[in-house]
Chains A and B, each alone.
Chain A
Amino acid sequence: MIVAQLTQEQVEQLQGVEFAPDSFFNPILDANGNYIISIEEQEQCDIQWVKDLPRIEYLPKETTNLL
Protein backbone atom coordinates (compact mmCIF):
# COMPACT_ATOMS: atom_id res chain seq x y z
CA MET A 1 0.00 0.00 0.00
CA ILE A 2 1.24 3.48 -0.88
CA VAL A 3 1.01 6.36 1.62
CA ALA A 4 2.31 9.93 1.90
CA GLN A 5 5.28 10.69 4.16
CA LEU A 6 5.51 13.69 6.52
CA THR A 7 8.02 15.26 8.87
CA GLN A 8 7.23 15.72 12.55
CA GLU A 9 6.75 19.45 11.97
CA GLN A 10 4.26 18.73 9.23
CA VAL A 11 2.41 16.31 11.52
CA GLU A 12 1.97 19.09 14.06
CA GLN A 13 0.50 21.33 11.37
CA LEU A 14 -2.13 18.72 10.51
CA GLN A 15 -3.30 17.85 14.03
CA GLY A 16 -7.03 18.55 14.27
CA VAL A 17 -7.23 19.86 10.70
CA GLU A 18 -10.07 18.93 8.34
CA PHE A 19 -8.92 17.57 5.00
CA ALA A 20 -12.49 17.34 3.68
CA PRO A 21 -15.87 18.14 5.23
CA ASP A 22 -16.21 16.26 8.53
CA SER A 23 -12.99 14.33 7.91
CA PHE A 24 -9.81 14.97 9.89
CA PHE A 25 -6.16 14.11 9.30
CA ASN A 26 -4.74 11.24 11.33
CA PRO A 27 -0.95 11.00 10.90
CA ILE A 28 0.54 7.76 12.25
CA LEU A 29 3.97 6.14 12.48
CA ASP A 30 4.97 3.24 10.25
CA ALA A 31 7.33 0.40 11.12
CA ASN A 32 10.38 2.46 10.09
CA GLY A 33 9.47 5.45 12.24
CA ASN A 34 8.13 7.49 9.33
CA TYR A 35 5.08 9.67 9.86
CA ILE A 36 2.49 8.95 7.19
CA ILE A 37 -1.03 9.84 6.10
CA SER A 38 -3.19 7.89 3.70
CA ILE A 39 -3.67 8.51 0.01
CA GLU A 40 -7.33 9.29 0.76
CA GLU A 41 -6.28 12.20 2.98
CA GLN A 42 -3.70 13.44 0.48
CA GLU A 43 -6.05 13.28 -2.50
CA GLN A 44 -9.13 14.73 -0.81
CA CYS A 45 -7.46 17.77 0.77
CA ASP A 46 -6.94 21.19 -0.80
CA ILE A 47 -3.60 21.93 0.87
CA GLN A 48 -0.96 22.09 -1.83
CA TRP A 49 2.02 21.09 0.31
CA VAL A 50 0.10 18.00 1.43
CA LYS A 51 -0.61 17.12 -2.19
CA ASP A 52 3.14 17.47 -2.89
CA LEU A 53 4.23 15.08 -0.12
CA PRO A 54 6.42 12.18 -1.27
CA ARG A 55 4.85 8.76 -1.46
CA ILE A 56 6.31 5.64 0.10
CA GLU A 57 5.34 2.01 0.58
CA TYR A 58 3.47 1.54 3.86
CA LEU A 59 5.05 -0.84 6.34
CA PRO A 60 2.67 -1.30 9.29
CA LYS A 61 4.05 -1.39 12.81
CA GLU A 62 3.91 -4.84 14.29
CA THR A 63 1.04 -4.99 16.74
CA THR A 64 1.34 -7.00 19.89
CA ASN A 65 -2.16 -8.28 20.14
CA LEU A 66 -2.69 -8.19 23.87
CA LEU A 67 -6.42 -8.13 23.38
Chain B
Amino acid sequence: MKIGSTAIINCKIGSVQVNEVRIGSILVWSFSSFDPDAQAFITAAGITDPIQQNAINQLVLDLKGYSIWTKMKALYPFVGGTATTHKFNLKNPLDANAAFRLSFLGGWTHSSTGALPNGTNGYANTFFSPSANSLEYNDNHLSYYSRTNATSIYDIGGGENTGLKNLGLYLRRIGNVAGYDSGNYITNRNTFPNSDSKGFYNGNVISSSSKYFKNGTNQFTKALTFSDITALSVYVGAFNEDNIPSYYSSKEVSFISIGDGLSDTEASNFYTAVQLFNTSLSRQV
Protein backbone atom coordinates (compact mmCIF):
# COMPACT_ATOMS: atom_id res chain seq x y z
CA MET B 1 0.00 0.00 0.00
CA LYS B 2 1.19 3.50 -0.75
CA ILE B 3 0.38 6.93 0.59
CA GLY B 4 1.01 9.11 -2.42
CA SER B 5 4.16 7.62 -3.94
CA THR B 6 5.56 6.37 -0.62
CA ALA B 7 5.26 2.65 0.05
CA ILE B 8 4.33 1.67 3.58
CA ILE B 9 7.10 -0.63 4.79
CA ASN B 10 6.19 -0.57 8.45
CA CYS B 11 3.40 1.08 10.42
CA LYS B 12 3.11 1.89 14.11
CA ILE B 13 0.57 3.77 16.15
CA GLY B 14 2.67 5.14 18.97
CA SER B 15 4.79 2.15 19.92
CA VAL B 16 2.22 -0.43 18.84
CA GLN B 17 3.03 -2.43 15.71
CA VAL B 18 0.21 -2.44 13.16
CA ASN B 19 0.11 -5.88 11.54
CA GLU B 20 -2.52 -5.29 8.91
CA VAL B 21 -4.78 -2.64 7.43
CA ARG B 22 -8.25 -3.53 6.14
CA ILE B 23 -10.93 -1.57 4.34
CA GLY B 24 -14.02 -3.35 5.56
CA SER B 25 -13.07 -7.00 5.35
CA ILE B 26 -10.56 -6.53 2.53
CA LEU B 27 -6.90 -6.80 3.48
CA VAL B 28 -5.04 -3.97 1.77
CA TRP B 29 -1.70 -4.15 3.60
CA SER B 30 0.02 -6.50 6.00
CA PHE B 31 3.28 -6.25 7.89
CA SER B 32 6.04 -8.67 6.94
CA SER B 33 9.11 -9.28 9.02
CA PHE B 34 10.76 -10.96 6.03
CA ASP B 35 13.31 -9.46 3.72
CA PRO B 36 11.42 -7.78 0.83
CA ASP B 37 13.04 -10.03 -1.81
CA ALA B 38 12.20 -13.12 0.22
CA GLN B 39 8.65 -11.87 0.75
CA ALA B 40 8.23 -11.25 -2.99
CA PHE B 41 9.20 -14.84 -3.73
CA ILE B 42 7.03 -16.25 -0.94
CA THR B 43 4.05 -14.30 -2.24
CA ALA B 44 4.61 -15.20 -5.90
CA ALA B 45 5.14 -18.90 -5.21
CA GLY B 46 2.37 -19.05 -2.61
CA ILE B 47 4.62 -20.55 0.06
CA THR B 48 2.55 -20.92 3.23
CA ASP B 49 4.65 -23.31 5.30
CA PRO B 50 6.45 -21.24 8.00
CA ILE B 51 9.51 -23.51 7.88
CA GLN B 52 9.83 -22.97 4.14
CA GLN B 53 9.16 -19.24 4.49
CA ASN B 54 11.86 -18.88 7.13
CA ALA B 55 14.30 -20.97 5.08
CA ILE B 56 13.84 -18.68 2.06
CA ASN B 57 14.18 -15.60 4.21
CA GLN B 58 17.36 -16.83 5.86
CA LEU B 59 18.81 -17.79 2.48
CA VAL B 60 18.24 -14.29 1.14
CA LEU B 61 19.66 -12.71 4.30
CA ASP B 62 22.73 -14.95 4.15
CA LEU B 63 23.40 -14.26 0.48
CA LYS B 64 23.08 -10.56 1.11
CA GLY B 65 25.20 -10.80 4.27
CA TYR B 66 27.96 -12.52 2.30
CA SER B 67 27.64 -9.85 -0.45
CA ILE B 68 26.90 -12.44 -3.13
CA TRP B 69 23.20 -11.70 -3.69
CA THR B 70 24.05 -9.10 -6.33
CA LYS B 71 26.24 -11.60 -8.20
CA MET B 72 23.28 -13.90 -8.76
CA LYS B 73 21.27 -13.52 -11.96
CA ALA B 74 18.97 -16.51 -11.46
CA LEU B 75 18.31 -18.54 -8.30
CA TYR B 76 15.99 -21.53 -8.09
CA PRO B 77 15.42 -22.75 -4.50
CA PHE B 78 12.88 -25.49 -5.42
CA VAL B 79 10.63 -24.95 -2.41
CA GLY B 80 6.97 -25.87 -2.06
CA GLY B 81 6.89 -29.28 -3.70
CA THR B 82 5.09 -28.54 -7.00
CA ALA B 83 6.01 -27.37 -10.48
CA THR B 84 4.11 -24.17 -9.77
CA THR B 85 6.22 -23.31 -6.72
CA HIS B 86 9.48 -24.66 -8.17
CA LYS B 87 9.33 -22.58 -11.31
CA PHE B 88 10.07 -19.20 -9.72
CA ASN B 89 13.39 -17.38 -9.86
CA LEU B 90 14.16 -15.99 -6.40
CA LYS B 91 15.96 -13.01 -7.93
CA ASN B 92 12.94 -11.96 -9.97
CA PRO B 93 9.84 -13.96 -9.03
CA LEU B 94 7.63 -12.99 -11.93
CA ASP B 95 5.73 -15.56 -13.98
CA ALA B 96 7.43 -14.63 -17.24
CA ASN B 97 10.11 -15.98 -19.54
CA ALA B 98 11.94 -12.66 -19.30
CA ALA B 99 12.20 -13.20 -15.53
CA PHE B 100 13.85 -16.58 -16.16
CA ARG B 101 10.91 -18.47 -14.72
CA LEU B 102 11.40 -22.19 -15.34
CA SER B 103 9.22 -24.03 -17.83
CA PHE B 104 9.04 -27.75 -17.05
CA LEU B 105 8.69 -30.18 -19.96
CA GLY B 106 8.36 -33.95 -19.99
CA GLY B 107 8.59 -36.18 -16.95
CA TRP B 108 9.43 -34.63 -13.59
CA THR B 109 8.58 -35.59 -10.03
CA HIS B 110 8.17 -32.59 -7.75
CA SER B 111 8.34 -32.99 -3.97
CA SER B 112 9.45 -31.25 -0.79
CA THR B 113 13.02 -32.42 -1.44
CA GLY B 114 13.24 -30.85 -4.88
CA ALA B 115 12.60 -31.64 -8.54
CA LEU B 116 13.56 -34.97 -10.08
CA PRO B 117 13.82 -35.26 -13.89
CA ASN B 118 13.16 -38.73 -15.22
CA GLY B 119 16.30 -39.03 -17.37
CA THR B 120 14.15 -39.82 -20.42
CA ASN B 121 12.45 -36.62 -21.60
CA GLY B 122 12.24 -34.32 -18.56
CA TYR B 123 13.96 -30.95 -18.62
CA ALA B 124 13.32 -27.31 -17.76
CA ASN B 125 14.02 -24.20 -19.80
CA THR B 126 15.43 -21.28 -17.80
CA PHE B 127 15.12 -18.83 -20.73
CA PHE B 128 18.48 -17.51 -19.51
CA SER B 129 20.94 -16.76 -22.28
CA PRO B 130 24.46 -16.43 -20.82
CA SER B 131 25.85 -14.08 -23.47
CA ALA B 132 22.71 -11.92 -23.57
CA ASN B 133 22.94 -11.48 -19.81
CA SER B 134 26.55 -10.33 -19.72
CA LEU B 135 28.18 -13.55 -18.62
CA GLU B 136 31.66 -14.07 -20.04
CA TYR B 137 33.82 -17.15 -20.38
CA ASN B 138 36.12 -15.61 -17.74
CA ASP B 139 33.45 -14.39 -15.32
CA ASN B 140 30.52 -16.63 -14.47
CA HIS B 141 29.28 -19.36 -12.21
CA LEU B 142 26.78 -22.20 -12.50
CA SER B 143 25.70 -24.26 -9.50
CA TYR B 144 23.60 -27.39 -8.96
CA TYR B 145 22.65 -29.08 -5.66
CA SER B 146 22.16 -32.76 -6.42
CA ARG B 147 20.49 -35.31 -4.14
CA THR B 148 21.16 -38.22 -6.52
CA ASN B 149 24.21 -40.31 -7.27
CA ALA B 150 23.96 -41.26 -10.95
CA THR B 151 25.79 -40.75 -14.21
CA SER B 152 24.74 -38.41 -17.01
CA ILE B 153 26.45 -36.58 -19.87
CA TYR B 154 25.23 -33.20 -18.64
CA ASP B 155 23.00 -31.98 -15.79
CA ILE B 156 22.57 -28.32 -16.71
CA GLY B 157 23.69 -26.05 -19.53
CA GLY B 158 23.56 -25.08 -23.14
CA GLY B 159 25.91 -24.80 -26.07
CA GLU B 160 26.53 -24.48 -29.77
CA ASN B 161 28.62 -26.90 -31.76
CA THR B 162 29.46 -24.09 -34.17
CA GLY B 163 32.15 -22.19 -32.36
CA LEU B 164 32.20 -24.69 -29.48
CA LYS B 165 30.45 -22.22 -27.19
CA ASN B 166 29.21 -23.82 -23.99
CA LEU B 167 28.16 -23.14 -20.44
CA GLY B 168 27.42 -26.37 -18.63
CA LEU B 169 28.00 -28.70 -15.72
CA TYR B 170 28.08 -32.42 -15.40
CA LEU B 171 28.45 -33.91 -11.96
CA ARG B 172 29.40 -37.47 -12.80
CA ARG B 173 29.84 -39.05 -16.20
CA ILE B 174 30.52 -42.71 -16.92
CA GLY B 175 34.14 -43.10 -15.92
CA ASN B 176 33.53 -41.09 -12.74
CA VAL B 177 34.49 -37.62 -13.83
CA ALA B 178 32.80 -34.26 -13.20
CA GLY B 179 33.15 -31.36 -15.64
CA TYR B 180 32.48 -27.66 -16.05
CA ASP B 181 32.52 -25.95 -19.44
CA SER B 182 32.96 -22.19 -19.70
CA GLY B 183 33.13 -21.29 -23.37
CA ASN B 184 35.09 -23.62 -25.65
CA TYR B 185 34.54 -27.10 -24.27
CA ILE B 186 37.76 -28.43 -25.77
CA THR B 187 40.13 -25.85 -24.33
CA ASN B 188 38.12 -24.63 -21.32
CA ARG B 189 36.74 -27.78 -19.71
CA ASN B 190 37.62 -28.16 -16.03
CA THR B 191 37.30 -31.72 -14.71
CA PHE B 192 37.96 -33.74 -11.60
CA PRO B 193 37.49 -37.41 -10.63
CA ASN B 194 34.12 -37.92 -8.94
CA SER B 195 32.36 -41.14 -8.00
CA ASP B 196 29.42 -39.62 -6.08
CA SER B 197 27.29 -36.94 -7.74
CA LYS B 198 25.44 -35.96 -4.57
CA GLY B 199 26.32 -32.56 -3.14
CA PHE B 200 26.61 -28.91 -4.11
CA TYR B 201 28.53 -28.30 -7.34
CA ASN B 202 29.68 -24.84 -8.33
CA GLY B 203 31.55 -24.26 -11.56
CA ASN B 204 33.10 -20.86 -11.22
CA VAL B 205 35.40 -18.61 -13.25
CA ILE B 206 36.87 -15.32 -12.20
CA SER B 207 39.85 -13.64 -13.91
CA SER B 208 40.17 -16.53 -16.40
CA SER B 209 40.85 -18.98 -13.56
CA SER B 210 38.26 -21.77 -13.63
CA LYS B 211 37.57 -23.55 -10.35
CA TYR B 212 35.14 -26.39 -9.86
CA PHE B 213 33.89 -26.51 -6.26
CA LYS B 214 32.19 -29.48 -4.64
CA ASN B 215 30.66 -28.74 -1.25
CA GLY B 216 32.61 -25.50 -1.00
CA THR B 217 36.03 -27.01 -1.70
CA ASN B 218 37.83 -26.37 -4.98
CA GLN B 219 38.56 -29.66 -6.74
CA PHE B 220 40.65 -28.37 -9.65
CA THR B 221 41.91 -25.08 -11.06
CA LYS B 222 42.33 -24.53 -14.78
CA ALA B 223 43.55 -21.46 -16.66
CA LEU B 224 41.16 -20.61 -19.50
CA THR B 225 41.81 -19.17 -22.94
CA PHE B 226 39.65 -16.62 -24.72
CA SER B 227 36.34 -17.98 -25.94
CA ASP B 228 32.83 -16.88 -26.70
CA ILE B 229 30.08 -18.16 -24.44
CA THR B 230 26.78 -19.51 -25.67
CA ALA B 231 23.74 -17.39 -26.43
CA LEU B 232 21.42 -20.38 -26.04
CA SER B 233 19.13 -20.76 -23.06
CA VAL B 234 20.40 -22.86 -20.18
CA TYR B 235 18.42 -26.08 -19.69
CA VAL B 236 18.08 -27.93 -16.38
CA GLY B 237 17.98 -31.74 -16.36
CA ALA B 238 19.32 -31.83 -19.93
CA PHE B 239 21.68 -29.89 -22.17
CA ASN B 240 20.49 -27.39 -24.77
CA GLU B 241 22.54 -28.55 -27.74
CA ASP B 242 21.86 -26.21 -30.66
CA ASN B 243 18.30 -25.63 -29.37
CA ILE B 244 17.60 -29.35 -28.98
CA PRO B 245 17.23 -30.83 -25.48
CA SER B 246 19.87 -33.55 -25.28
CA TYR B 247 21.58 -35.78 -22.72
CA TYR B 248 18.76 -36.09 -20.20
CA SER B 249 19.71 -36.34 -16.53
CA SER B 250 18.07 -38.12 -13.60
CA LYS B 251 19.48 -36.18 -10.66
CA GLU B 252 17.09 -34.61 -8.17
CA VAL B 253 17.89 -30.92 -7.84
CA SER B 254 17.33 -28.82 -4.71
CA PHE B 255 19.02 -25.58 -5.70
CA ILE B 256 20.44 -23.95 -8.83
CA SER B 257 22.10 -20.63 -9.49
CA ILE B 258 23.48 -18.81 -12.52
CA GLY B 259 25.50 -15.65 -12.15
CA ASP B 260 28.80 -13.83 -12.03
CA GLY B 261 32.05 -15.40 -10.92
CA LEU B 262 32.72 -15.71 -7.20
CA SER B 263 35.94 -15.42 -5.23
CA ASP B 264 37.16 -18.43 -3.24
CA THR B 265 35.78 -16.92 -0.04
CA GLU B 266 32.46 -16.14 -1.70
CA ALA B 267 32.23 -19.68 -3.09
CA SER B 268 32.86 -21.10 0.36
CA ASN B 269 30.27 -18.80 1.92
CA PHE B 270 27.84 -19.66 -0.86
CA TYR B 271 28.09 -23.34 0.03
CA THR B 272 27.58 -22.51 3.71
CA ALA B 273 24.40 -20.57 2.91
CA VAL B 274 22.97 -23.17 0.52
CA GLN B 275 23.78 -26.08 2.81
CA LEU B 276 22.14 -24.28 5.75
CA PHE B 277 19.12 -23.60 3.55
CA ASN B 278 18.74 -27.25 2.55
CA THR B 279 19.44 -28.43 6.10
CA SER B 280 16.66 -26.19 7.40
CA LEU B 281 14.36 -28.00 4.94
CA SER B 282 15.67 -31.42 6.06
CA ARG B 283 16.89 -32.34 2.59
CA GLN B 284 20.63 -31.80 2.80
CA VAL B 285 23.11 -34.35 1.50
Contact = CB atoms under 8 A, between A and B. Distances in A.
B104 interface: yes
Interface string A24-62: 111110000000111111000000000000000010100
A9 interface: no
Contact of A40 (B87, B109, B181, B185): B109
Contact of A63 (B106, B159, B246): B246
A38 B121 contact: yes
B257 interface: no
Contact of B83 (A1, A20, A38, A60): A20
A40 B154 contact: no
A25 B105 contact: yes
Interface in B98-112: 103-109
Contacts of A41: 106-107
B122 interface: yes
Interface residues of B, number: 29
B143 interface: no
Contacts of A66: 161
A38 B107 contact: yes
Nearest to B87: A22
A24 B124 CA distance: 10
B92 interface: no
Given A28-B121, A66-B161, A22 B107 contact: no
Given A63-B153, A63-B246, A63-B247, A23 B108 contact: yes
A25 B103 CA distance: 11
Interface in B232-258: 239, 241, 245-247
A66 B154 CA distance: 12
B120 interface: yes
B126 interface: no
B145 interface: no
Nearest to A41: B107
Contacts of B87: 22
Given A38-B121, A67-B166, A24 B105 contact: yes
Given A26-B122, A26-B123, A40-B122, A21 B83 contact: yes
A38 B118 contact: yes
Contacts of A22: 82-84, 87, 103-104
A62 B154 CA distance: 15
A55 to B, nearest CB: 13
Interface of A: 1, 3, 20-28, 36-41, 58, 60, 63, 65-67
Q: Which 4 A-B pairs have the closest CB atoms?
A: A38-B107, A26-B106, A40-B107, A26-B105
Given A22-B104, A63-B246, 11 more contacts: A22-B87, A24-B103, A25-B106, A26-B106, A36-B120, A37-B121, A40-B107, A40-B109, A41-B106, A41-B107, A67-B153
